[in-house]
A and B are shown apart, each in its own frame.
Chain A
Amino acid sequence: EVQLVESGGALVQPGGSLRLSCAASGFTLSAYSMIWVRQAPGKGLEWVSYISTTGETIYYADSVKGRFTVSRDNARNSLFLQMNSLRDEDTAVYYCARPYCSTTSCYSDYWGHGTLVTVSS
Chain B
Amino acid sequence: SYVLTQPPSVSVAPGKTARITCGGNNIGSKSVHWYQQKPGQAPVLVIYYDTDRPSGIPERFSGSNSGNTATLTINRVEAGDEAEYYCQVWDSNRGVFGGGTKLTVL
Q: A and B: real partners?
A: yes
Q: Measuring CB to CB, which residues of chain A are less than 8 angstroms from any residue of chain B?
A: 35, 37, 44-47, 50, 59-62, 95, 100-102, 104-109, 111-114
The CA-CA distance from A95 to B95 in the complex, in Å, is 14
| 21 A-B pairs with C-beta separation under 8 A | A35-B95, A44-B84, A45-B35, A45-B43, A45-B86, A45-B97, A47-B88, A47-B94, A47-B96, A59-B93, A60-B94, A100-B48, A104-B90, A105-B49, A106-B95, A107-B45, A107-B48, A107-B49, A108-B45, A111-B42, A113-B42
Q: How many residues of B contact A (CB 8 A)?
A: 26
Q: Is B98 an interface residue (CB 8 A)?
A: yes
Closest to B31 in A: A105
A50 touches B94 (CB 8 A): yes
